[in-house]
Amino acid sequence: MLKKIARLIKNAIYKLKFSGKKVAIDWSCNLAAKGVYCEGMNTFHENVSYRGSIGYGSFIGKDSDLNANIGRYCSIGVNVKTSTGTHPTKVFVSTHPAFYSTRKQAGFSYVTEDIFSEGIYVDDQKHVATIGNDVWIANNALLLPGVHIHDGAIVAAGAVVTKDVEPYTIVGGVPAKEIGKRFDDRIIEQLLRIQWWNWPEEVIQKKAYCFNDIKRFLEDNNKVSSR
């Protein structure tokens, strides 16, 4: 009961903090007491646990548990998770933490000092993954520590991402492998140069009519650039 009350208080504080940014936080969410920043127009659906910075327009689907920095206009599906630790797979005789960690994850330890780094982080704030802009991560995906999902990428449902995903690349499977690319290299290069997600929101809204056609979008942008 006390944990539930503490969670409700945290959510109330965050709702107040981001009240001017149109951030929707379901009361069942468990946001970190510190280290959560919302740029605006964000939605945290039911039972989301989150720690990190989330960019404009991005949302996180229900039951997701993420410790990651997320860019703008990202779509995070249901039950998407980041893995928070690792175990030794070589040299050490056993993968059990009793042989290298003093944290007593199993209730006991055989060592008096930590001799293996269990955490893999992408920054000094100990976030375990980085998600770029305009990324779609489908339901039940798992991101292993240290990965970077670059701009425009897609992670298929149920994928286990063990390494970085290049821009506008589609990956899937266990472990996740490249399935294809959203566009050809020429178009990807143009999109990475344009970085539409950094445009002011009013400009994006004005140009939303051409977002359903990549050819028309690039032609429109080229016309503006040539003026």
In tens, the pLDDT along 3-19 reads 777 787 888 888 888 88
Other CB atoms within a 10 A radius of the CB of residue 14 amount to 19
Handedness of CA 189, 207, 197, 76 (dihedral sign): negative
- For residue range 174-222, list pLDDT tens digits in order: 999 999 999 999 999 999 999 999 999 999 999 999 999 999 999 998 8
Tell me the pTM.
0.89
- For residue range 121-171, list pLDDT tens digits in order: 888 888 899 999 999 999 999 999 999 999 999 999 999 999 999 999 999
Q: Which of 87, 96, 127, 150 is catalytic?
A: 87
The most distant pair of C-alpha atoms in the chain lies apart, rounded to whole Å, by: 70
The answer to whether 148 is a known catalytic residue is: no
